[in-house]
Chains A and B, each alone.
Chain A
């Protein structure tokens, strides 16, 4: 009896279920009570009830699963239990399904969760391409189609690219800077658990009456304030994803600033750490703006405010300004961590120091600053003040300069290296070339007169997939292959990895390349039906997209099978210098038996015996005492 009772009161899935249901019941009661006090008809307004449940029930879930237990004890003045580290680390698979404060467990939780949503989002894309394989209506109605691309984009952005980078960095970053964990492990756990909430909410919108949200991931008002209930699933879901993102970014900032191992100056940090530092700055400054934009929409929908109702003095263009003030920096939130991964992968697998290390870090900072000055380039035809267009065009094109620095520096890193064409290196090379193409089409889009013609066409669809798939997702693959041995303690199958690369590289181009042509030729995006003249290219795009989608299954198979049955990995299979490779694979539960001391730069390849960090039990090699960056 006592055991059964404890099951429902101790943190975990039983209590989470109970408290979710209790909160849902409370929300229903609250709405019905308030409506009856005001005498509103009908009393049982399910749109209102579901809206309030979507805010309340997730909080119930987070409390029930145990994200707040320690803080509640603390806040209520109860004697806190001394930290016994029982919530830290994974000893069995069950430990991955509870609130866990170990950054390595949280990293794995992040990556596996986001990969699930990656595959679901990809499936939606396949359905979209099936509908678009021929002109006319195939098998989904236009409302469902609008839902498919809206949920596809929202999941890929908010539930895959942004959080998977947070997951990779969660695992790798504390190890890289020689820290035993993140600065705020409990906040870290809360950040993770908000993610499945956001993802389930967006996915569940398909079950809403009137279908899922269908206004694109941009949710432009006033369409988003007028469409059926499904829209609310996005409006509120984004708040959870955003809160998760902000909390993680704060955690990274504090961790990087205060928890670096002795000797690790800012100029000795690996570029992945620099990349996440700059990304986190972007996240904490920008993300509140999308939260604001979606709260405005929520208020217009639920409370009858008129932020975006022009007839009552609302301002429709304002939505876009607030939205893009986040969502343009978000493009860099989705790219800078990838830049960090590529620097690690290229220097390790080409056995050379990153060329122009300081310029690489400065260009990240330059992108952060410039990134906040370009948002209105998404709005050249929006009807905003027309004078804003030229300055935004110039700043947008100037971002090509720091981005160019990075591309050229990676190429120079390859020069005279010893290049090992491993799977992560192949993806890094694929990234450099494809991202260059995406960057170039970005400059083309920045030129206002061209943008007037191609904005809201398939040219834009092509561009964003070149920067987000050929860019971000290729870096994610590179990163996951690169750190797979560290995370799982096993090697992946190199042959399957290469097959995955070549298939996805080829069919990626065959899928998204032709979209440039149909776009310039006049095919708008976000349409379920299109003119006959675009039929041939769209058929080609659809067929290649299916093979492209199937190639992802090779990756999934490789990851799952290698995780269980792959050959055991050594601590440092790539002979890399950064600290995460100096511990066992997977690392000990508290990362280090003794805290390392950093004695040199992270990429001192080419100097025999050079070391980045030493542990107490090992003597530093003399050459490692050199400064991080030779002054040029």
Chain B
């Protein structure tokens, strides 16, 4: 039985280490965590195999013969065995805990020359603010091999900032700042995922993290800065409106061709201008759209339940932003109509 157990354990460990468990290994933290996971596999598989082997062996060796009425051996215990199976698991878990602690300190250690990124979660979008570079963006762009310190905030409910390729995850909590660190090591684009249930648009709260060479990062920063100095939002209302539409997370639930939004949780907004005028006898189109943003339950669109849409946009957006958004939504579809 011992031989079978050892062979099965070796095969089990080999299979587990062979499996490609993780997504891209995209940060120094990922290296450390993946190795830790492999060690846990190596420690776990033999224990599982031990239990399986003994259980199967017992069933085969001690199975009652048909009609057998007797009892098993009258054994109440064995102190030596019991001491062994208290001590050995104790040593194993203690050793693993110590190793886990070392890795934890390692992956969270502050580094020199960190790039600070303020991450803000709201229903249902992330925004990224680079305080030292003076840039704010919906895309997470990071220079390769430079340690990043993420300072995480939430505007409304809990979210969880997670880049699977970096392995690091941290909840965004209203009212407090939380922190996590990662040092990207692989060039490429990786998903940024919200991992904490945050409401109806939770599964669509996805963005991109782009890891680029240092020079490209500097160029991107410059480009973003130039954008800021370019035409003010008032001068290009469509771009400004599109920006708000995406950054406020409207695209998580609504369809709007101009903003590449295709979600179907809420009403389709492509035809909004045609219907907004006639929907309510008391409100004109502009008032109607504004009301549906700041107080959705007041506007019951047929087939939809106003209570589904998150409230609080009046607090999250400035009055100017709401103006821009309303104009954008109406203007957009009117232009399309005119074409």
Contacts of A311 in B (CB 8 A): 174-175
Per-residue A-contact encoding for B15-55, CB less than 8 Å = 1, 0 else: 00001011100000000110011001000100110011011
Per-residue B-contact encoding for A413-432, CB less than 8 Å = 1, 0 else: 01111111100000001001
A528 at the interface (CB under 8 A from B): yes
Is B308 within 8 A of A382, CB to CB?
A: no
Contacts of A229 in B (CB 8 A): 307
Q: How far is the CB of B94 from chain A (nearest CB, A)?
A: 8
A–B complex contacts, Cβ < 8 Å, 5 sampled: A352-B73, A353-B75, A383-B176, A405-B82, A421-B59
Is A227 within 8 A of B174, CB to CB?
A: no
B232 at the interface (CB under 8 A from A): no
Which residues of chain A have a CB within 8 Å of any CB of chain B?
137, 141-143, 146, 209-211, 214-216, 220, 222-223, 226-229, 310-311, 314-317, 350-353, 355-359, 381-383, 386, 389-390, 393-394, 397-398, 400-401, 404-405, 407-409, 411-412, 414-421, 429, 432-433, 436-437, 440, 443-444, 446-450, 452-453, 455-457, 517, 520-522, 524, 526-531, 575, 604-607, 629-630, 632
State in angstroms the CA–CA spacing of A487 and B111 once bound together: 66
Partner pick for A381 among B58, B157, B170, CB 8 A cutoff: B170
Contacts of B200 in A (CB 8 A): 142-143, 146, 214
Is A394 within 8 A of B97, CB to CB?
A: yes
Q: How far is the CB of A273 from chain B (nearest CB, A)?
A: 18
Contacts of B22 in A (CB 8 A): 520-521
State in angstroms the CA–CA spacing of A408 and B54 once bound together: 9
Partner pick for A352 among B72, B86, B305, CB 8 A cutoff: B72
Partner pick for B107 among A146, A449, A524, CB 8 A cutoff: A449
Q: How far is the CB of B306 from chain A (nearest CB, A)?
A: 9
Q: How far is the CB of B25 from chain A (nearest CB, A)?
A: 11
Question: In the complex, what residue of chain A is closest to B88 when comparing beta carbons?
Answer: A404
Question: In the complex, what residue of chain A is closest to B108 when comparing beta carbons?
Answer: A386
B338 at the interface (CB under 8 A from A): no
State in angstroms the CA–CA spacing of A215 and B200 once bound together: 9
Contacts of B201 in A (CB 8 A): 142
State in angstroms the CA–CA spacing of A521 and B86 once bound together: 34
Is A353 within 8 A of B74, CB to CB?
A: yes
Partner pick for A443 among B63, B96, B101, B199, CB 8 A cutoff: B96
Is B157 within 8 A of A390, CB to CB?
A: no
Is B202 within 8 A of A527, CB to CB?
A: yes
Is A630 within 8 A of B96, CB to CB?
A: no
B64 at the interface (CB under 8 A from A): yes
Partner pick for A317 among B55, B101, B169, B176, CB 8 A cutoff: B176
Is B202 within 8 A of A146, CB to CB?
A: yes
Contacts of B70 in A (CB 8 A): 351, 418
B281 at the interface (CB under 8 A from A): no
Per-residue A-contact encoding for B60-80, CB less than 8 Å = 1, 0 else: 001110001111111111110
State in angstroms the CA–CA spacing of A421 and B55 once bound together: 12
State in angstroms the CA–CA spacing of A19 and B86 once bound together: 57
Is B199 within 8 A of A310, CB to CB?
A: no
Question: In the complex, what residue of chain B is closest to A528 when comparing beta carbons?
Answer: B203
* Known interface pairs A517-B19, A632-B79; A436-B191 also in contact (CB < 8 Å): no
Partner pick for B40 among A215, A386, A432, A447, CB 8 A cutoff: A447
Is A381 within 8 A of B171, CB to CB?
A: yes
